[in-house]
Amino acid sequence: MSHFLSAADLSRERAEHLFRVAAALKQGWKAGRRGAPLSGRTLALIFEKPSLRTRVTFEVGIVQLGGRAVHLSGSEIGLGTRESVPDAARNLSLWVDGIAARVYSHETVEGLARHATVPVINALSDFEHPCQALADFFTLWERGIDLGAMRLCWVGDGNNVCHSLILLGALLGTTIVVATPPGYEPEARVQQTVHKLGGRLTVTHDAREAATGADVIYTDVWTSMGQESERERRLEAFSRYQVNETLVAFARPSVLVMHCLPAHRGEEITDGVLDGPHSIALDQAENRLHAQKAVILDLLGGSLDDA
């Protein structure tokens, strides 16, 4: 990879390689190894949207690898207003070794990649969240789960996280069933790409049908940043798509429940499920750090032997 903009930028072999690197980095850090494979390297963090997990994990990640981060808020850099995306990309390429961008429009991160001469990482856009999907599948992989024999049920909005999950799931051979209200399905072009990749994807409007026999149930907020004006309409449309104890009972007894966080407790998921014995949401959050470290190390050319 020269950039990481989409889960579809990976292959099965590349994803599994990143899982192994992430596992080694995680184990090494917990064992007290403090190598600096990216000593002297700098990662620019462009954040048009506020963040807890994404900012902390990228900033801490580059520091743990021996490098430094430069945080640029949307108001500071003014992409597309104060400064054009191509100009920002060309200038940043003169000073830093990589760019991670959390933006509203996917066109912005594509524009950065098109004009930058350093690697660009999609830290979230309105279309995809590939770092989240990578961390999520790593979380399942490190538990020894056979991703090719797994049934994952997505309940809720067919949003950016859903797009990345079904794309990466297609590459890994995972069976995925997406349950959304009518009109909120994953974009048709993403579904087409999944099928071209040979993915096993079913889209339904029946949450219980989707959850039946599932090894994993995954949900996300019904109203994402930038959709606040749609909140009341979405609350009504998604009212039958809550991940609660009743829905979880349709899945396998060993089901794992995932949520990328932040959660709107009492909306898309109940406290009892999110804090319950099936939930691995905090494992996902922890693994954002290690999966993203693997991506940073890979793109910036560091050696795992030095970590």
The catalytic residues are 102, 129, 132, 220, 260, 288
What span, in angstroms and rounded, lies between the C-alpha atoms of 297 and 306?
A: 11
Cβ–Cβ < 8 Å for 216, 283? no
The amino acid at 253: P
What span, in angstroms and rounded, lies between the C-alpha atoms of 171 and 167?
A: 7
| Other beta carbons within 10 Å of 304 | 15
Strands 120-124 and 98-102: parallel
What span, in angstroms and rounded, lies between the C-alpha atoms of 186 and 205?
A: 12
Lateral strand order in the sheet of 42-47: 68-73, 42-47, 98-102, 120-124
The backbone region for 111, taken as left when phi is positive above 0, alpha when psi lies in -120 to 50, beta otherwise, is: alpha
Question: CA nearest 170: which of 184, 156, 152, 187?
Answer: 152
What span, in angstroms and rounded, lies between the C-alpha atoms of 63 and 196?
A: 39
